[in-house]
Amino acid sequence: MALDSAGDTSLLLGSQDVPPVLEVNAAGRSPYLVTCDHYGRMLPKALGDLGLPESELTRHIAWDIGIAGVATALSKQLDAHLIAQRYSRLVIDCNRPPVTPSSIPRISEATTIPGNEGLAREAVDARREAIFDPYHRHIQAVIERRLREGTPTVLVSLHSFTPVYAGIARPWHIGTLYNRDTRLPPLLLKLLRGEPDLVVGDNEPYAVSDETDYTIPVHGEARGLMNSGIEIRQDLIADQAGQQQWADRLARIFSEIETMLRTQQLLPA
């Protein structure tokens, strides 16, 4: 197993590795800008398998199972720009401030990550410079371009959660995640709760905070954009049919919210 201990940041992603940022529908005309921090579970070749078997590298600790299909279909249906990150959160978590210990987790749920043990400062920096920074720089640049062009922008950050965490079953089908925005999350909660078959979490199974999140605080709240996170339970979106159903449902709900925001003059009429 090779580790990125060399300190030369250009060594982390080589010619056989794909770029971290994936874009779908970059010319989309929707006010929704969709992000997906845990879209993929790729590993840079230089990191080998992080010392983990395939069974660990494919489960929820490595990525948000099912969300890639939902995000892609939703982006197309809403005609919304999607910015996603392809590498596993076990390499570096793109929704954690890089200063927190869980940024490059040594343990996730009950799994120790051998390839994340005892990393030199240079190795930590290399992961940030190769994956975290380009992803967030790109989101920042897209938001700045939209603001410059006067394009209304509502940030939606898509995630999925494991149905059972540390032995505890979670009852929610979907949850909204937010902190400071008081405009979008109440509308989202109201419409989701209007769906008769759903158990909806209000800041469940997670709430957004400056300590545990990055995308919403930095790109949404600090810029004053309307924003919300969405968490969908992974067993509901494990296959393509489920992903499509949830994309259809969310597209319908977000379209309805767009109309409401225009009526409330929170978006241009």
* 129 CA to centre of own chain: 18
Q: Which two tokens stand for residue 56?
A: 């660990």
* Residue 47 or 177 with smaller CB distance to Zn ion: 177
Closest contact distance (angstroms) between CB of 206 and Zn ion is 9
* Residue 64 or 258 with smaller CB distance to Zn ion: 64
Closest contact distance (angstroms) between CB of 142 and Zn ion is 20
Of all residues in this chain, which one has the CB nearest to Zn ion in the complex?
A: 159
* Residue 68 or 80 with smaller CB distance to Zn ion: 68
Closest contact distance (angstroms) between CB of 58 and Zn ion is 16
Q: Which two tokens stand for residue 51?
A: 């010392």
Identify whether the C-beta of residue 262 lies closer than 8 Å to the C-beta of residue 226.
no
Q: Which residues bind Zn ion (CB under 5 A)?
A: 38, 64, 159
* Residue 232 or 253 with smaller CB distance to Zn ion: 232
Identify whether the C-beta of residue 213 lies closer than 8 Å to the C-beta of residue 222.
no
Distance (Å, whole) CA 85 – CA 66 = 14
Closest contact distance (angstroms) between CB of 64 and Zn ion is 4
- β-strands 111-112, 21-24 pairing: unpaired
- β-strands 200-202, 174-177 pairing: parallel
Residue count (the chain): 269
Collapsed DSSP state (helix, strand, coil) of residue 163: coil
Closest contact distance (angstroms) between CB of 169 and Zn ion is 19
* Residue 11 or 218 with smaller CB distance to Zn ion: 218
